[in-house]
A = this chain, B = another copy of it.
Amino acid sequence: MDEFALIRHYFGALTAARSDVVLGIGDDCALLRPTPGSELAVTADTLVAGRHFPVDTAPFDIGWKALAVNLSDLAAMAASPQWFLLALTLPAADSVWLAAFAAGLRTLADQFGVALIGGDTTRGPLSITITAFGSAPAGTALRRSGARPGDLVCVTGTLGDAALGLQLRGAVVVPTEADDDERFLQARLDRPSPRLQGGLALRGLASAAIDLSDGLAGDLGHILTASGVGADLNAALLPMSAAFARVHVPAQRLQLQAAGGDDYELCCCLPPAQLAAAQTRLDLPLTVIGEINAKPGLRWHDTRAGAPAPVLHGYRHFYENDG
């Protein structure tokens, strides 16, 4: 098989049957039937080796993560995922690498019923750009700009796991030597779960939402700016996984949970009257961590007895998410 036959071979299996795909891979464009009465939500994110994932990341996980970070953007808008395009730049067409990469993509794509509809493959330094498409009934998509004073600031799941997993990566020489906590934290870094059910559950309830890719402080900052409001957050309330609680160094907690990045949880703002409904509808924990108010800026507090005032430093990953 030549290089492009190889690629067709591995990615052909990703073209799930969907009645809204009129024409998939193999022509100049894909042809799609948009959902009547809906708005189309589209997003594109690029992952560059060594920047958005460690260079030793398994190809299965690279495929998974490249799609996951895009589906996470659809989740944040409360859009139902439909299709994706893959633009893959590879140093060489290696069939072992391609098979594992495609399997990672396919596993996640199948979980949410999204179909690969086209894209491009080219030779060059490893980089993956995925464009993901979804739909939301007109007027229902969640935006960053709707937060209002009095809204509760909430996050899904737990924060800081991926950042701690990245910090540990150097210490974990052979995966089989890692213990369960380390494996959990690595998986949170390498195979994030896009919170699509969470986004849909928040539709009609949340006033604003964003997905957490760069870290809570920076991403919530986008909501505050877009909405023209501020927030007071309680560092003591940031939700920790059991593994994070056992493994982390307490002095690093706030940095990891609020500025570490790669959480791919949702942060939303909710009028207090909607909290119970949101928590009932969501299939994962939704934790209140603070409140929106009219004074611009993000202020950190810590309600634990004797806790020092929390200070967030300008800490960044060795790589950073740009989008």
Contacts and interface: CB of A to CB of B under 8 A. Distances in A.
A131 B44 contact: yes
Interface stretch (A56-64, A118-126, A244-252, A280-288): A118-126
B46 A39 contact: no
Contact of A31 (B45, B141, B322): B141
A40 B40 contact: yes
A34 interface: yes
A119 B44 contact: yes
Given A124-B127, A125-B124, A131-B131, A43 B23 contact: no
Contact of A28 (B30, B33, B36, B210): B210
Q: Identify whether the interface residues of A are mostly helix, strand, loop, or mixed.
A: strand
A5 to B, nearest CB: 12
A44 B120 contact: yes
Number of copies: 2
Interface of A: 4, 22-23, 26-34, 36, 39-46, 48, 51-52, 73-74, 76-77, 79, 85, 87, 89, 117-125, 127, 129, 131, 133-134, 136, 138, 141, 143-145, 209-211, 226, 322-323
Contacts of A145: 27
A89 B46 contact: yes
B123 A125 contact: no
B48 A41 contact: no
A122 B46 CA distance: 7
27 contacts: A26-B226, A27-B145, A27-B226, A28-B43, A28-B73, A28-B76, A28-B77, A28-B144, A28-B210, A29-B42, A30-B42, A30-B43, A42-B118, A42-B133, A43-B85, A44-B85, A45-B120, A46-B87, A46-B120, A48-B89, A48-B123, A121-B323, A122-B322, A123-B322, A124-B125, A125-B125, A125-B127
